[in-house]
Amino acid sequence: MDQYNTQIQDIAPSLGLNFANLAAKLSDNLLWGVLGLLAIILGATTVVLYYHWMRYGFGDRMVIFAQVLYTVVLISGFAVMIGSVNYYG
C-alpha cells in the first residue's frame, strides 16, 4: 500500500507539477488582481445577503448571529489573504 501511495505521489513531481514551480510563475500583480476580483464578487454578494437579513430577518436572533459570524470570518479571510500577498510583495 505504501509502495502504491509513493508511486501515485511521484506522478505529479515526475510531470513537473510541483506547487513550488507553479507558485514561482505567479506574479504579485496577478495575486492582487485575484484579490480585487474576489473583493468585488464577495462584496456584491455580501450586500445582497445583508439586504435580505436586514429586510426579511425581522430582527431574528439567529439571523443577527449569522450576520456577525459571516462578517467576522469574511474579514478575517481577507486579512489573511492580504497578509499572504503582502508578505513578499
Partner 1 sequence: MARLPLEPGEKILLTCHRHWIVYFIDAIVLFILFLLPYLIFRFLGLSEGIDPAEREYHIAVFAYTAWFILLWTYFFIVWTNAYLDAWIVTDRRIIDIEQQSLFHRSVSDFRIEKIQNIMVKETGFIANMLGYGTIIVETAGERIILEFDNIPKPYKVRDLISECHDKCLAKLANSGISPDARDIILEH
Chain residues that interact with partner 1, rule: CB under 8 A: 8-13, 17-20, 23-24, 26, 31, 34-35, 38, 42, 45-46, 48-49, 52-60, 62-63, 66, 70, 73-74, 77-78, 80-81, 84-85, 87-88
Q: Copy the grid coordinates of residue 53.
A: 437579513
Give the integer Cα–Cα distance in Å for 29 and 25: 11
Measured from the CB atom, is 29 or 34 closer to partner 1?
A: 34
- Smallest gap from Cβ 62 to partner 1, in A, equals 7
Cα-based angle 52, 41, 26 (whole degrees, multiple of 5): 155
